[in-house]
Amino acid sequence: MKVIIIDDEPLARMMVKEYLQSYPHISVVEECNDGFEGIKAIQQHRPDLIFLDIQMPKINGFEMLELVDDPPQVIFTTAFEEYAIRAFDAHAADYLLKPFSKERFDKAMQKLQQQATNTTKEIVDTAMLSTAQNNRIVVKDNGKIKIIPVAKVQYLEAADDYVKIITAEGTFLKKKTMQYFEDSLPPQEFIRVHRSYIINAQLITRIDPHEKDSHLVLLTTGARLPVSKAGYSKLKDILGI
């Protein structure tokens, strides 16, 4: 069984390695300092299990998992992360609160064998929705990881299983639903004006009537986007017109 440990504190990784010594069938194939190394290592080694810290440099543990297409089983290790813990509890996933004992560690390992793998995605979604960390979006761009502060997002457009994120620097894709972004982005700043569009309210310059019951919104960037009837009433509410 292949294991990767991802934690920015060397001593914390050492601790997990030490506890793993009593599991002869497990081998630690790599240790990572941060999420970037983590993604690379996961793609390279395809581990069966990862130990993942949440607070890490640049991107946190959840953001890293979002970018992994087929995540392995995860045991989260964290010192104190109120929101995250709520997310784990909601999905009955196991997590280790630092510092943890060998007994607690063994229990998590036992539990692992009974647990189904497909819950990881759901945990990540719940955690991302409830963390205060929603002021940025992390995407993969040609194999590179890109962090986009939400203020730099112009609008979002639905594209089948993906959502297109349009910024001044270019368009990025992320495998999420429009509903997910509608829920996680700050509601006063990002408005879902249409089934397929969420716009940055800061950039609105004009709203023109279009065919019956619908409008067109013009952004400062020059983009013209459709506004549905429901979207128009939302716009009126938020902009106070």
Partner 1 sequence: MALNIIPRRRIKLIFFTAFFVWWSIWALLQIMVLEDFGVSASRAIADGVISNILLAGTCLLVINNMRYYLPKHEKYWYVLVITFAHSLVWLLLTRVSLWALYKSDPGYMSSLSLTSYIRYAIAFLMIGCCTVLSLLWYTQQLQEADSQRKIDMERLAREAELNKLRQQLQPHFLFNSLNSISALTGTQPEKARHMIQQLSDFLRGTLKKEEQKWTTFEEELQYLQLYLDIEKVRFGYRLQTNIDCEEDTLQMKLPSMLLQPLVENAIKFGLYDTIGEVTIFISAKKVNEYLEVAVQNPFDESTSMPLKGTGFGLSSIKRRLFLLFSRYDLLQVKKEAEQFITIISIPPEHESNYN
Give contact residues for partner 1 (rule: CB under 8 A): 8-12, 14-15, 18, 33-34, 36, 55-58, 79-80, 97-100, 135-136, 147, 149, 151
> What string of DSSP letters covers 120-171?
HHHHHHHHHHHSS-TTEEEEEETTEEEEEEGGGEEEEEEETTEEEEEETTEE
**Which residue, 132 or 241, has its beta carbon nearer to partner 1?**
132
Q: Min. distance of Cβ 147 from partner 1 in angstroms?
A: 4
Residue type, 213: D
Q: Min. distance of Cβ 11 from partner 1 in angstroms?
A: 4
Q: Min. distance of Cβ 84 from partner 1 in angstroms?
A: 12
Q: Min. distance of Cβ 94 from partner 1 in angstroms?
A: 17
**Which residue, 10 or 187, has its beta carbon nearer to partner 1?**
10
Q: Give the residue ranges of DSSP H helices in the chain.
A: 10-20, 35-45, 61-66, 82-90, 102-114, 119-130, 178-184, 229-239
**Which residue, 55 or 196, has its beta carbon nearer to partner 1?**
55
Sheet holding 170-174, edge to edge: 170-174, 162-167, 153-159, 197-200, 190-194
**Which residue, 130 or 214, has its beta carbon nearer to partner 1?**
130
